[in-house]
Amino acid sequence: MGTIWIVGAGPGADDLITVRGRSLLTQAGAILYAGSLVSQAHLRHAPADCVIADSSGMTLEEMVQWLLQQAARTATVVRLQTGDPSLYGALSEMAHPLLQAGVTVKSVPGVPSFAASAAVALESLTLPEVSQTVILTRVEGRTPMPAGEQLRDLARHGATLCIHLSITLWPKICAELAAAGWRQDAPVLVVHKAEWPGEEKIIRGTLADIAQQCEAAQISNQSMIIIGHTLNTGHAAPPIRSQLYHPAFGHGCRAASLSGDSENA
């Protein structure tokens, strides 16, 4: 039996997959890719005789069966999925039946969508004295949230919120954040298809107006919502300066400068 690799393709652009992930694609005998979410540009790196299938119409059981059939005939089988496999990617539930079948399963991390979204918008998710915590979550829909993980519970911390899979649920998001004490002028960033060439959209606003902006931009899927006080809406003002690179702040690799401006130290 061959090895089945569950590979994170990253957020969109095919050059944001890891070097290891790209290498596996070039040697794969079979690739099962998430066609509705992963760019087909990745497939150009596959060998000419590679067996390729789109999983967008498959159930988990059908995917597992396909992967096992391919592992019986070729050394390297790749399950290619969006972002990072450990985040909303069904990594555990796919790996379990494969491992039970006696197959070697390995995973390769990918650039997650929240990181790509912050990068394309040139935003920091953490800032000193503003927020040092990032919460990755989603809003309750058809899949219920565990007790204590409703958005209003998490939002009470005041940390930066990265909300997945929830772009169509603005009324619920706004109601939950209001219940947690967030003001309507709280900054919001929405990035649709981060790093997808020709399809990326970046929307900045507040809790009061972001839903209308997304509707006007016709954004209804594949979007990351970031809400938090670290967001510098429109980059209008300089952010709070950190200690790490301040001349008055010394550490093991650099001595503090006594003549450095210590006003913001």
Mean pLDDT of all residues in the chain?
A: 91
How far apart (Å, rounded) are the C-alpha atoms in residues 5 and 28? 10
The pLDDT tens digits for 139-187 are 987 788 899 999 999 999 999 999 999 999 999 999 999 999 999 999 9
For the chain, the domains span 3-111, 114-231
Task: Look at domain 3-111 and name its CATH class.
Answer: alpha beta
Instruction: Give the pLDDT confidence score for residue 142 in this predicted structure.
Output: 79
Structurally, what CATH architecture does the domain formed by 114-231 represent?
Answer: 2-Layer Sandwich (3.30)
How far apart (Å, rounded) are the C-alpha atoms in residues 70 and 66? 6
Contact 161, 155 (CB under 8 A): yes
Half-sphere exposure of 132 (CA within 13 A, CB side): 3
Question: pTM for this structure?
Answer: 0.87
Q: How far is CA 165 from CA 92, 222, 223, in A?
A: 19, 7, 7
Cα angle, residue 97 at apex, residues 54 and 4 outer, rounded to 5°:
55
Q: What percent of the chain has pLDDT over 70?
A: 92
Half-sphere exposure of 77 (CA within 13 A, CB side): 22
Backbone phi, then psi, for 49, in 5-degree steps?
Answer: -95, 10
Most confident of 39-48, 235-244, 250-259: 39-48
The pLDDT tens digits for 191-203 are 999 999 999 999 9
Both tokens of 57, joined, read 């119409």
Listed in sequence order, the residues at least 6 apart from 218 whose beta carbon sits closer than 8 Å to its beta carbon are none
Is the pLDDT confidence value at 260 over 90? Answer: no
